[in-house]
């Protein structure tokens, strides 16, 4: 009988080799986090750190929702690592938000809601998304244009239309979430819609709707006549 040999402890280099031969999908969540959190210090146990981060925030979704302050409170994660982690998770979120080969046609507000609501309902803070469409109301792309409290003093209408101008979009739908779960539009939501509709007329880019996503409910501001006079 051969002598028992314990499995070799994985290293960052072995993970890179595995990813190169078998693809990133072959790595576990802990291993993927370890690759992101690795900062080149040979003495650090980045696997233990990655495992702790996942457990601390319950799961990968919890990590994605964690704020910069919450991440930097964990020993071993400084501002740089926390920023890198958030950037990587945001890229993943944007990829899942819209697959390039999927260009559905938006015929009614519920079509747009089905496209975006699962990405918005669990977020801890407000995010404003624009759904860019061509002349046939076929989705061209989705872009996150603002993260934070949606009030008219901080949201610049120019930022809303920048992706539409760059991608030659004929029309767009605004959509944002209410972390409270209540989809009732606020006065700021109405004002932002009015400002966007007016700007869209000047730019010849139609603002077709503004959707507010709550938990298990949503509101079409066009259907409610809010901001669309």
- Whole-model pTM? 0.60
pLDDT tens-digit series, residues 54-107: 999 888 878 887 888 899 999 889 898 889 998 888 777 666 555 544 678 899
Question: Which residues touch 218 (CB under 8 Å, ≥6 apart)?
Answer: 109, 113, 117, 183, 211, 212
Domains 12-97 and 109-224 share a fold: no
How far is the C-alpha of 170 from the C-alpha of 164, rounded, in Å?
Answer: 8
Looking at domain 109-224, its CATH architecture is 3-Layer(aba) Sandwich (3.40)
Arithmetic mean of pLDDT, 146-163 = 80
Residue 43: pLDDT over 60: no
Q: Give the CA distances from residue 110 to residues 96, 126, 205, 212, 214, in Å, rounded to whole numbers and listed in that order.
A: 19, 20, 21, 12, 14
- For residues 101-110, one letter each, b for 16 or more C-beta atoms within 10 angstroms of the residue's C-beta and e for the rest, the string is eeeeebeebe
Give me the residue spans of the domains in the chain.
12-97, 109-224
| CATH code for the structural domain at 12-97 | 1.10.150
Sign of the Cα torsion 38, 44, 46, 51 reads: negative
- Give 178's contacts (C-beta < 8 A, 6+ positions apart): 126, 184, 212, 213, 214
């Amino acid at each position: 009988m051969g002598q028992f040999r314990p499995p070799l402890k994985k290293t960052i280099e072995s993970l890179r080799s595995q990813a190169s031969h078998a693809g990133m999908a072959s790595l576990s969540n802990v291993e993927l986090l370890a690759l992101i959190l690795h900062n080149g210090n040979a003495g650090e146990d980045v696997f233990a750190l990655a495992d702790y981060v996942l457990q601390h925030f319950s799961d990968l979704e919890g990590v994605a929702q964690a704020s910069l302050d919450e991440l930097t409170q964990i020993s071993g994660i400084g501002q740089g690592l926390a920023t890198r982690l958030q950037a990587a998770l945001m890229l993943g979120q944007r990829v899942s938000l819209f697959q390039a080969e999927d260009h559905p046609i938006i015929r009614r507000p519920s079509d747009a809601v089905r496209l975006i609501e699962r990405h918005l309902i669990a977020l801890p803070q407000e995010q404003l998304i624009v759904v860019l469409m061509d002349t046939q109301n076929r989705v061209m792309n989705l872009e996150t244009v603002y993260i934070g409290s949606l009030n008219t003093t901080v949201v610049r209408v120019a930022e809303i239309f920048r992706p539409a101008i760059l991608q030659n979009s004929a029309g767009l739908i605004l959509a944002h979430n209410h972390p409270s779960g209540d989809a009732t539009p606020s006065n700021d939501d109405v004002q932002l819609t009015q400002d966007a509709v007016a700007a869209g007329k000047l730019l010849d880019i139609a603002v077709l709707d503004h959707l507010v996503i709550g938990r298990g409910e949503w509101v079409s501001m066009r259907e409610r006549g809010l901001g669309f006079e």
